[in-house]
Structure 1
């Protein structure tokens, strides 16, 4: 989502970053070996809390994880970093963020001023899923993403703290195993033949693909995602699909609303097309597995799966 309910203004105060960097003399600079002392933990900063969850699971008691985006009402695109954020990134040994243009404020903090020489950076969309800016950046909806991230984190932490290599990889395996219910649910809900659906915007698309669903309103969804008005033709086509129940369900990102989208939601409801509500950020009180599972349960109900 680029625009909508959330405010999308962005003002990263680089000056504060350089002040932090400038105030750190060589005597006070972060250690280049995170495991040089028994009690010294590896510092990990994650832009999004669902990535921080993976880092904590893999690192265990050997890491100190700071997640920057923890409030589900915060717009990831227009987030304003704080001096505390900059300080955390500056001293981190490992930084994890989505990339592909989704959270560019994190990249600016990494590049601003001096930083820990030991820092490893994982850009999930780009490094693990081969995406680039301009591609659909919502890669956490791809069921393979967290598995790849867990393995990558185990590799990176092992380079910093080699004595714990086996432990990091074992915890990565345990975390991946904990996601088995998600994999099983995706397989259970996978349609035997391509099944048409409509979406308000391309948030859920990477989950749609393994379910063998096809999106009938890609142009409408892209316009909403980019904060522009869909063309009259695209609006009319979606209206006809909903009225005629030519799609099995309508995926609605409840965090990005506009009169156009709300009209489609009302039309879907009045036409008897099931609505699946999804979010771009992890809801409070839920972990990644619960978040994904809850949304897939809605899909299952909409598709009539038992």
Structure 2
């Protein structure tokens, strides 16, 4: 688990009036006003959670997603004064938590804000196993996303009571789509339970486990990749052997965090004819959350049949 850092320029917050908003901003298209006279201001740490908010808020929120570049490595993100400004002005903040975006807590502590803060990891209720760290990539866990959506609906209703019924209806529609995704996982599980898979990082592990698949990757390998550290030679050798020895059915490959070791793993998978399933940490351009996850599951299912 690697935390995102906060740039030293936070100290300059007092002189930054007029700085443009960071990340992506989505006014929901309609720009309709809430009961308070303007759309609810929401800041999400990533565009994944920003899209979840959009599904619930519709046209009644101005949503800013801080980490939103699908071609960049989110681990290298450094928050700056623009992020501080957005967070300080938000009515609702949606953070991932679990160490993924600690800059949110750091900056909120330094700001004079009364924002409602929703921490997805806290909402999930997940706890790490004894002696281990929690896998913070919980947006790949559909029950957690549903729980966060419910809390988002409540927070929006508190900020904009005039549209509470619309938020509730949107949340029910979104949750129904998540239920469909869980059904797809169950279908995959019926035929592929117990099949071994490999990963470069633990990003999609919740989804893979929900499909009944077993992560065979040495923990030392995926941890080193996630932390940006050198992979122990034995861990790399053991990971490469998964493909040459036919122990895995697919490789889930994080396209946003790559390097020499991950490229060796990719080459080994391709040489052995093991299907590669691309995975990302942020929402791909032009996709919403449900479309993205539907395509991820379709790719997993196809790889297992190859």
Q: TM-score, normalised by structure 2?
A: 0.84
1:229 matched to 2:230: yes
Q: 2:11 aligns with which of 15, 19, 24?
A: 15
Q: How far apart, CA to CA, are the structure 1 residues paired with 2:194 and 2:116?
A: 41
The residue aligned with 1:67 is: 65
Distance 1:179 1:72, change over 3 A: same
2: CA distance between counterparts of 1:216 and 1:258? 20
Mapped partners of 1:83, 1:125: distance in 2: 25
Match of 1:184 in 2: 183
Counterpart of 1:270 in structure 2 is 271
Q: Which residue of 1 aligns with 2:78?
A: 80
**2-structure distance, mates of 1:12, 1:42:** 29
Q: Is the 8 A contact 1:242 1:273 kept in 2?
A: yes
Alignment match, 2:260: 259
- Note closer, same or farther for the CA distance 1:237–1:125 as it changes in structure 2 (3 Å cut): same
Q: TM-score, normalised by structure 1?
A: 0.84
Number of the residue aligned with 2:126: 130
SS in 2 for 1:268: helix
1:46–1:67 CA contact under 8 A, matched in 2: yes
Corresponding position: 1:174 with 2:176: no
CA offsets 1:27-66 (integer angstroms, 9 cap, x no match): xxxxxxx9664x3322111111121112122123332222
- Report the CA distance between 1:127 and its aligned residue: 2.7
Q: Which moved more, 1:10-19 or 1:194-203?
A: 10-19
Aligned residue for 1:277, secondary structure, equals strand
Gaps of 5+ in 1: 22-33
Residue 123 of structure 1 deviates from its aligned partner by: 0.9
Hey, what's the Cα distance between the residues in 2 that align with 1:178 and 1:67? 22
**Residue-by-residue CA offset, 1:216-254 (whole Å, 9 max, x unaligned):** 113321221122223232222222221111111111112
**Matches of 1:156 and 1:90, distance apart in 2:** 17
Gaps of 5+ in 2: 18-32
State the superposition RMSD in angstroms: 2.5
The alpha carbon displacement at 1:180 in A equals 4.3
Match of 2:94 among 90, 93, 96: 96
Does the CA contact (< 8 Å) of 2:56 and 2:153 recur in 1? yes
> What SS does the aligned partner of 2:76 have?
coil
